[in-house]
Amino acid sequence: MIAQWMLYSLVVAGCFGVAAAAGEALLRLNGRPGRWVWWLALVFTLGLPLFNIWFPEFLERSVVFPTLDNGARIVIGTLAVGDVGGNAIPDSGGALLDRLLIAVWIAVSVSFLFVIVWTSLKLLRERRDWSKASVGGSSVWISSDVGPAVVGFLWPEIVVPGWVLDLDEAEQRLVVLHEAEHARAGDLRLLVSGLAAAVLLPWNPAVWWQVRRLRLAVEADCDARVLGLGTSALSYSAFLMNICGRARRPRVAALALSERRSPLSRRIEMMVPETRGGLGRAALSLTVCLAALTLACEFPIPFAHDGADELSEPQHVLRPSHSQRTFTEFEKGDAPALRYGTEPSFREVPARE
């Protein structure tokens, strides 16, 4: 049961990820922010498999499910307990596999949660050595090597490393402006809530891919807001390259301006909107998004289908009702039996003289 649900969740997560990628592309073509589609993809990745477990009959009468052959069910039901392709896993083996998977699942989730808590506590200890200073016209925290970043889940604050003080005034203003936009939009809370999905489903690579794309979308949206305030795209790109080369890799508990080379290159490319073939690309993105969403919602649920098959089998024999017993007794009597679907026969009786 658990292995079957994990395979089903993996397929659903991949479908929602493809839908989010197409939806983000469609939004970028129209100059709209794209971070929320990835957040929604993570929410539905968690919610739909749980919903189908609690309410399996809700999506049982689907559009695609009756048209699929047994091959689709074999793909996600190979490890299910029951007859799949003629081979069944014994109940004892299925139960042992479920217990093993649950134990590994809990151990990995707890390990990731421990890393996040330990990193947050370490950041709090380092915060004792920070000092306040005015950078770019705003009051920020100065650390030894943390940042530039936003820290604080409930009350976000900006922290920059000491080498930011050596930058010129224009670059200092861009550093503070970028982080201030993160704090104003609540991007850290959005990213932490997305990371919670990865902690709950650490075995799902599609979820980790969605979290990575969510972080990229958060940074791209922040870059767009900074450029919307009048900053030149060319100077801002050079600024990002400079910051990325000097800053440390961001902590788990901080939303940092710096990023690895590959996502940074993608961010710079997204600053220049693509105008060629806009209508065709929009139509393709919309088609892919709708197709992926349909597949995610209509993909067959093996455990729900198996349960439906079991319920379709006769569970007990109905006892005849009172009227049926009376009619049966009447048939066994001396009177002629009247059976359903037959015409009564009459015998001619000679008249008395």
**Residue 306 CA: distances (Å) to CA of 3, 77, 297:** 15, 10, 18
Whole-model pTM above 0.75? no
Could you tell me what percent of the chain has a pLDDT over 70?
68
pLDDT digits (tens, 9 = 90+) for 197-234: 999 999 999 999 999 999 999 999 999 999 988 888 88
- Between CA 68 and CA 14 the distance in angstroms is 19
* Residues 76 and 4: beta-carbon distance below 8 Å: yes
123 pLDDT above the threshold of 60: yes
Q: What DSSP designation does 164 have?
A: G
Could you count the other beta carbons within 10 Å of the beta carbon of residue 164?
23
- Between CA 226 and CA 283 the distance in angstroms is 29
**In this predicted structure, which of 33-37, 87-91, 95-99, 158-162 has the lowest mean pLDDT?**
87-91
Coil, helix or strand at residue 301? coil
Cβ burial of 327 (10 Å; 0-12, 13-18, 19+) is middle
